[in-house]
Amino acid sequence: MRIGLAFGDARQQRDLAGIGEQIRTANGIDTAWVTQGPNLDALITLAGASAAGPRELGTAVVPIPQRHPLMLASQALTVQAATGNRLTLGIGVGIARMVDAMFGLPTDRPARRLREYLEVLRPLLRGEAVDHHGETLTAVGAVAIEGAAEPSVLVAALGPAMLKVTGELADGTITWMTGPRTLEEYVVPSITKAAQGRPAPRVVAGLHVCLTTDTDAARARYATDFALSGQVPEYRAVLDREGASGPADVLIAGDEHSITKQLDRLRDAGVTDAMLAPIGTADEQRRTTEFLVTVGR
């Protein structure tokens, strides 16, 4: 199982220069993931941090409703050219409440919209022209950027219909706040079945982590700080499937031995990549990061 670090909105980070420096110095980590929220743009952040750092740079995830596939293909291939083809493009249909309330965009038929989007985006990323006039999307054109290779595409897929489309058309999935039992019994078998006849899909498990000597205090603080996340329908569904009362129940927390056991549980569940977002005090985040680097090595 590859070990990656998450940066950006998932850790309430707003300092572009600081994030870039952390990514450039994240030696020993397989992947630097930048989470996309309403603040820093994940793709631009990665392009600016391209000088050094991990061999893989990923977005987790770029919401697609407000980015036409021609635009996203241009952005992604530009980042590929800027980073020496180290990008893994993570995308998602977005949190429905945000897509509707913030942008006034439709959120119905998410699996149908995702399928059409991928049917257009994948050829564009290969440098092919598209002429698509579908139910939810029109796209005519092509994108060509010298030196840019087609990036791998992962999808934030949690529901059964979304996992089916992802398994058929993408290279894997990125989950968030999804516990090990749900990953083992639901996510991994669902996407693996959908991907039959294709390369085995990547399963990236995104979770917060805190190396601490006071696990109860860390979980209590986390339950307060991320209470709203537990009310988002998309996340609430996987928490319910896990039997978790809230996000704190899936927080990876404890000492070095405990965190290692929790990571082993993810690996045994079929997770191929852990995308870990250190939280806590500045000292706890520093020590957590240092420990994860040793695990990655």
**3-class secondary-structure state, position 28:** coil
Contacts (Cβ under 8 Å, ≥6 apart) of 230: 236, 239, 246, 247
| Cβ proximity of 277 and 5 under 8 Å | yes
pLDDT for 104: 87
What domains lie within the chain, and their CATH numbers? 2-296 (3.20.20.30)
Question: Cα torsion at 210, 213, 216, 219 (round to 10°)?
Answer: -10
pLDDT for 95: 80
In this structure, is the dihedral angle defined by the CA atoms of residues 272, 268, 168 and 138, taken in order, positive or negative? negative
Total length of the chain: 297
Mark the ranges of the chain whose per-residue pLDDT is less than 50.
none
| Vertex 95: Cα angle to 63 and 205 (nearest 5) | 75
* Residue 269 DSSP one-character state: T
Distances (CA, A) of 138 to 9, 89, 97, 113, 167: 31, 21, 24, 11, 23
| Cβ proximity of 98 and 65 under 8 Å | no
pTM: 0.95
pLDDT for 232: 85
Question: Cα torsion at 175, 176, 182, 188 (round to 10°)?
Answer: 10
Distance CA 37, CA 98 (A): 10
